[in-house]
Structure 1
Amino acid sequence: MSGDEESPEQTIAEDLVVTKYKMGAEIANQALKKVAEAAVPGVSVLSLCQKGDEFIAAETGKIFKREKDMKKGIAFPTCVSVNNCVCHFSPLKSDPDVILKDGDLVKIDLGVHVDGFISNVAHSFVVGATKDNPVTGRKADVIKAAHLCAEAALRLVKPGNQNTQVTEAWNKIAKSFKCSAVEGMLSHQLKQHLIDGEKTIIQNPTDQQRKDHEKAEFEVHEVYAVDVLISTGEGKAKDGGQRTTVYKRDPNKVYGLKMKTSRTFFSEMERRFDTMPFTLRAFEDEAKARLGVVECAKHELLQPFAVLYEKEGEFVAQFKFTVLLMANGPLRITSSLFEPELYQSEHDVEDPELKVLLQSSASRKAQKKKKKKVTLLFCFVFSSFLNIFSNSFLNFYFISVTTGFKNRRECDRTGDGDRSCRVNFNKRWQEPDEPKEQTSRFFLSRLSEGLEGV
């Protein structure tokens, strides 16, 4: 293939691609669960981020071992954002750490890829919440609102619908809980090696953003990372001055780096992460990574994921899932750990249409496989019958012919006439009643064995 030719795009129309998405999703779900279980009072955010990244690296290293050239691993580094921190908080060892306290609203965000096929997930919860000690007030409002927005999106992100339908539903649900969708946040279409695809869903757009944002229709065999961020405040996320630690390469930008440290850093980044988001914490020499990233970001070779904040005293909740738009309906592959009994809000969805939507099933249409299975069973039984019958008949025929041949030889040796030979042969033919019964038993036993194997 020439350098100008591009390989055909791989989509979920191929079973192997679906398998890779599901394998990545399974690891992402497990990583999320492990980090959430470890998020207890007194634990540092840094240790949680390290735990998530280490688990993903270890588990992806166990799959497709024979495919030496296949890249797999972290598609989005583990971020743990607390209370009014909106997103992308993934501290370095040299940064001031955050220690979790009872009652903190925690958001865990991470991603896994297998051969460039990305599975993202995010979950929100309150530290220390139990059935005996449920969450109430504004924290319960915002978490329940974000969860229901995610559930509505699961039912709306399907072939034939438009991205604007999701945006409108999110705004209505958020308002029902006296909350706001975080302004301008985007959910992206996913493609191989691409975390920010062309089609997007925008949250709570400004008038200008609404004009600029392109309307799009969802289509079969597309994949989306649906990312919901809801705030108890106005929903205006701003850079709070926290050091940016998460970046991704922009493949469309080219620049000749001047500093040796920058070139070394960029070379290692390309080799290990390619176009996937990464954290500076992943580099052995953190100080050199902090130095090298400056020139790369300045000339836009890297895109920063800034740490954003809502106003002090407000709370932000996040839920994110990856969905495959299959021919028989949307397939959610990254799951939520949400426990509704832990969150008691005084508010609920008010819009009648949204109520009906949320009460509808999100399950895919069942495939009609029963008829096919019965047909296969019939074919197997019939072929087994023919095989056993033909083998039995040939065996019986062979015995009969060899018996007749033996009788003929006896006639020739004794000199008996043709008549006596025919009589002798007929007697021999009729004598073996027991072999007939044995053949029948053999046939029935073989048939029953065949049926048991179905």
Structure 2
Amino acid sequence: MIFYKTEEEIDLMKASAKVLAQAHGEVAKLIGEGVTTRALDQRAEEFIRDNGGSPSFKGYNGFEYSLCISPNSVVVHGFPGDYVLKSGDIVSIDCGVQLNGYHSDSAYTYPVGEVAPEVLTLLDETKKSLYLGIEQAVVGNRLGDVSYAIQNYVEKQGYGVVRELVGHGIGQKLHERPEVPNYGKRGSGLKLQAGLTLAVEPMVNLGTKSVVQEKDGWTIRTKDFKPSAHFEHTIVVRKDKAEILTSFDYIEQALQAKTL
């Protein structure tokens, strides 16, 4: 069953999404050489709980952490731990917040120190593909229009689009119907209606689209060990333009402050 949200429900999701955006900003302040991924996870959980929310991921199907932290060739679902960030890394931070009974979900991939130009370009193009997908999330379009916009753009850049992992509906549950693939055909799939809330999340590889799952049962990495980028927003379908509920503003403010 697909749940279409009322304006009251969307307002509750906006409150969740604001705490999430601010939590990402707190993590962004810490990201740099010499920092452990565990420290990032601890800061996110502390901030979310201090602001009345709970981490959506913690306890989800047995996942033990507040953040999925995925460096370099890890696509998604990486465990925080003793890994120390170093110059040349990229690291994807995926986080969810439950507040007032509603979830929000977003992800951002960061460069650490001096990163290879081709990898920085991967980050920029993956982020751009997210917004190209979101542009298609309007009433009367179909889900395949969102998927096609992402796939068409990133494949033209020569990248691989991950098939095994997809975006999703979101609301009272972290994962609701429908699934939102990052590949597909224009004009296919569910017809989009107002009030549908989605987590759109392109996962794009510098090399092949193929991925493998590690023995821990969670961590997904690229088969060729090349870097992967991941960006995600929670959105609501509207008549003329999708509304983005999450925000990267706090992240970008934190990153800008580091360069001053």
The reply to whether TM is greater than 0.5 is yes
Matched residue count:
241
Deviation at 1:164, TM superposition (A): 1.2
Residue-by-residue CA offset, 1:161-219 (whole Å, 9 max, x unaligned): 11111222222211222211112321111132x222221221347xxxx9xxx821111
Q: Could you tell me which amino acid in structure 2 is paired with residue 156 of structure 1?
A: Q
Alignment of 1:398-409 (within 5 A): none
Alignment of 1:430-449 (within 5 A): none
Q: Tell me the equivalent position of 1:74.
A: 55
Alignment of 1:89-238 (within 5 A): 89-91=78-80, 97-128=82-113, 136-192=116-172, 194-204=173-183, 215-238=189-212
Q: Could you tell me which amino acid in structure 2 is paired with residue 110 of structure 1?
A: C
Residue-by-residue CA offset, 1:12-55 (whole Å, 9 max, x unaligned): 4233x232111111110111011122011111111111111121
Deviation at 1:121, TM superposition (A): 1.0
Deviation at 1:10, TM superposition (A): 8.1
Contact preservation (8 Å) 2:235, 2:243: yes
* CA distance in 1 between partners of 2:113 and 2:29 (Å): 11
Q: Could you tell me which amino acid in structure 2 is paired with residue 118 of structure 1?
A: H
Which of 2, 8, 20 aligns to 1:28? It is: 20
Deviation at 1:240, TM superposition (A): 2.1
Contact preservation (8 Å) 2:168, 2:200: yes
Residue-by-residue CA offset, 1:317-374 (whole Å, 9 max, x unaligned): 01000112245632101112469xx9xxxxxxxxxxxxxxxxxxxxxxxxxxxxxxxx
Contact preservation (8 Å) 2:96, 2:104: yes
Q: Tell me the equivalent position of 1:87.
A: 76
Q: Tell me the equivalent position of 1:330.
A: 242
Greater fraction of residues in strand: 2
Q: Could you tell me which amino acid in structure 1 is paired with residue 149 of structure 2?
A: A
* CA distance in 1 between partners of 2:112 and 2:80 (Å): 20
Asked if 1:37 corresponds to 2:29, the answer is yes
- C-alpha change, 1:319 and 1:155, in structure 2 (3 Å) is same
Contact preservation (8 Å) 1:36, 1:108: no
Gaps of 5+ in 2: 58-65
Alignment of 1:225-264 (within 5 A): 225-241=199-215, 243-244=216-217
**% identity of equivalent residues:** 22
* CA distance in 2 between partners of 1:10 and 1:234 (Å): 35
Deviation at 1:128, TM superposition (A): 2.2
- C-alpha change, 1:173 and 1:329, in structure 2 (3 Å) is closer
Residue-by-residue CA offset, 1:229-250 (whole Å, 9 max, x unaligned): 0001111121122x34xxxxxx
Q: Could you tell me which amino acid in structure 1 is paired with residue 212 of structure 2?
A: K
* CA distance in 2 between partners of 1:170 and 1:14 (Å): 28
- C-alpha change, 1:312 and 1:184, in structure 2 (3 Å) is closer
TM-score normalised over the length of structure 1: 0.50
Contact preservation (8 Å) 1:119, 1:334: yes
* CA distance in 2 between partners of 1:313 and 1:85 (Å): 8
- C-alpha change, 1:164 and 1:328, in structure 2 (3 Å) is closer
Which of 7, 29, 32 aligns to 1:14? It is: 7
Residue-by-residue CA offset, 1:235-281 (whole Å, 9 max, x unaligned): 1121122x34xxxxxxxxxxxxxxxxxxxxxxxxxxxxxxxxxxxxx
Deviation at 1:312, TM superposition (A): 5.1
Contact preservation (8 Å) 1:49, 1:90: no
Gaps of 5+ in 1: 1-8, 61-71, 130-134, 245-305, 343-454
Q: Could you tell me which amino acid in structure 2 is paired with residue 155 of structure 1?
A: E
Greater fraction of residues in helix: 1
* CA distance in 2 between partners of 1:113 and 1:162 (Å): 28
* CA distance in 2 between partners of 1:110 and 1:191 (Å): 15
- C-alpha change, 1:32 and 1:231, in structure 2 (3 Å) is same
Q: Could you tell me which amino acid in structure 2 is paired with residue 195 of structure 1?
A: L
* CA distance in 1 between partners of 2:171 and 2:20 (Å): 17
Greater CA radius of gyration, 1 or 2? 1
Question: Secondary structure at 1:329's aligned position in 2?
Answer: coil
Contact preservation (8 Å) 1:12, 1:221: yes
Q: Could you tell me which amino acid in structure 2 is paired with residue 174 of structure 1?
A: V
Q: Could you tell me which amino acid in structure 2 is paired with residue 235 of structure 1?
A: K
Alignment of 1:309-348 (within 5 A): 309-311=221-223, 313-327=225-239, 329-336=241-248, 337=251
Asked if 1:47 corresponds to 2:39, the answer is yes
Contact preservation (8 Å) 1:184, 1:204: no
- C-alpha change, 1:307 and 1:31, in structure 2 (3 Å) is same
Contact preservation (8 Å) 1:142, 1:232: yes
- RMSD after superposition: 2.4
Comparing both chains, which one has the higher relative contact order based on Cα–Cα distances under 8 Å and sequence gaps of 6 or more?
A: 2
